[in-house]
Amino acid sequence: MNILTVKNLTKNFGGLCANSNVNLEVRPQELVGLIGPNGAGKTTLFNMLTGVYEPSEGEILFAPNGKEIKLNGRKPYKVTKLGIARTFQNIRLFTSLSVIDNVKIAMNKDVKSGVISSILRLPSHYKEEARMEREAMELLAIFHLDEKADELAGNLPYGEQRRLEIARALATKPKLLFLDEPAAGMNPQETAELTALIKEIKQRFQVSIVLIEHDMSLVMKLCERIYVLDYGKVIASGLPEEIRTNKRVIEAYLGEEV
Q: Is 244:257 a contact under the CB 8 Å cutoff? A: yes
Residues 6+ apart with CB under 8 A from 199: 222
Residue 72, φ and ψ in degrees, nearest 5: -50, 130
Number of alpha helices (DSSP H) and beta strands (DSSP E) in the chain? 10, 10
Residue 119 dihedral angles phi and psi, to the nearest 5°: -65, -45
H helical segments located in 158-187: 158-170
Q: Looking at the structure, do residues 43 and 74 belong to the same domain, yes or no?
A: yes
Is 89 a domain residue?
no
Same domain as 63, residue 48: yes
Give, for all 258 residues of the chain, the pLDDT tens digit.
999 999 999 999 988 999 999 999 999 999 999 999 999 999 999 999 999 999 999 999 999 988 999 999 999 999 999 999 999 988 899 999 999 999 999 987 665 655 555 555 666 656 778 888 999 999 999 999 999 999 999 999 999 999 999 999 999 999 999 999 999 888 889 899 999 999 999 999 999 999 999 999 899 999 999 999 999 999 999 999 999 999 999 998 877 655
In a domain, 258, yes or no: yes
What domain range is 17 assigned to?
1-83+174-258
Helix, strand, or coil (residue 73): coil
| Amino acid letter for position 251 | E
**45 contacts 31 by C-beta, under 8 angstroms:** no
